[in-house]
Chain A
Amino acid sequence: MHLKQAETRHQASLQGIKSLNWAVLALFSLGSFLFGDVRFAAGVMTGGLLAIANFGALGHTIQRAFSPEGVFRAKKKTVVAKYYLRMTAVGFAVYLLITRQVVHPVALAIGLSVIVVSITLFGIQSALKKSGEAV
């Protein structure tokens, strides 16, 4: 029972990060629309979407590979193949976006930072909550 509750709580925290990703992407996109041109905003949005898709795929692969008790249940080759496929897809997408000059490269880097920013924000939020509970 206790294990189930803990599992649900951690699933909820992962879901919280996923929601925060979209919020941060929306904020970044809005800021880039207001302070930059359309190409810059497109770069931020594309980078953000790419980062979110990459994070989602990573989470999905690992969650499918392990049982809630931490037992490895997937085929080793499948997990490795999925990992390389994901990295190749991200690399190729970044290559296309930069070489075709579809988006601004700096904006793309800002967009790719969406996950880092949201995880940092989530960490700060959790730390503040914990310190509030301790007091």
Chain B
Amino acid sequence: MSKKTLTALFSSVLVLGSASVVLAADPSAQAAGLSIYWAIAIACGFGIGIAAFGTGLGMGHAINGALQGTARNPEAGGKIMTTMIIGLALIESLCIYALVICFIMVFKIPDFAAVVEKVFH
């Protein structure tokens, strides 16, 4: 099994596992049966995962293009680097938005803050 497949598998297990931890720690959600909270937990995990995947892909393309351009035309190196920094900032901000939205959503889950406190203390 390749390293990429293993990483993807591990990430998926981690995301789905965190959702079950949230559900297990929330008695009201358990009592209500299938509540909306499990969907929030899974959506947050997958949401940030997809955002990070897209950001990584975008940044990889940007850096690849910038380095190829600089290698072919070293005189334009400074110009390409400046444009690349601006592009990277734009791409990165998308992932930060996803992170903010995920944090907002995940803390709507009852007792999630208590779970976090329990884990870290």
Contacts and interface: CB of A to CB of B under 8 A. Distances in A.
Contacts of B67: 70
Interface stretch (A28-36, A61-69, A127-135): A61-69
B36 interface: no
Given A90-B96, A112-B97, A62 B104 contact: no
A62 B85 contact: yes
Interface string B68-85: 001100111111111011
Given A66-B77, A91-B99, A109-B100, A98 B89 contact: no
Nearest to A105: B104
Interface residues of B, number: 30
Interface in A69-89: 69-70
A79 to B, nearest CB: 11
Given A58-B85, A99-B103, A70 B80 contact: yes
Contact of B96 (A11, A69, A112): A112
B74 A70 contact: yes
Contacts of A17: 86
Contacts, number: 87
Contacts of A58: 85, 88-89, 92
Contacts of B116: 99
A108 interface: yes
B90 interface: yes
A44 interface: no
Contacts of A3: 75, 78
A3 B67 CA distance: 18
A67 B75 CA distance: 12
12 contacts: A7-B78, A10-B78, A14-B86, A54-B89, A62-B88, A66-B81, A67-B77, A99-B116, A109-B97, A109-B101, A116-B90, A119-B90
